[in-house]
Amino acid sequence: MVRVIRRLDRSTYDGWVWVDVYQLDRNGDATARRSLFLMPKGMRPVAVPPVPYAQRSRPRSGAASVTG
């Protein structure tokens, strides 16, 4: 999934555009900035609310912790 930042003003084929986007992770956070060449009528909005930071699962550690 991506979040569109803006449409770029580049000449291209009829019906196609260049857009700047943020690539999103599973929590809805931007992880990379990219430029895409696409047809806007092929895009669809997705209504996925971001996961609040406090409710995110923590990555599991491979090592067991030792106390004592």
Q: pLDDT for 10-53, tens place per residue?
A: 989 999 999 999 999 888 889 999 999 999 998 888 887 777 77
Q: Tell whether 56 is covered by a domain.
A: no
Listed range (2-6, 13-17, 56-60) with the worst mean pLDDT: 56-60
Say if 50 falls within a structural domain.
no
Q: How many CB atoms lie within 10 A of CB 32?
A: 10
Domain-located, residue 18 = yes
* Total-model pTM: 0.65
Task: Let me know if residue 60 belongs to a domain.
Answer: no
Strand stretches in the chain, DSSP E: 2-8, 17-24, 30-38
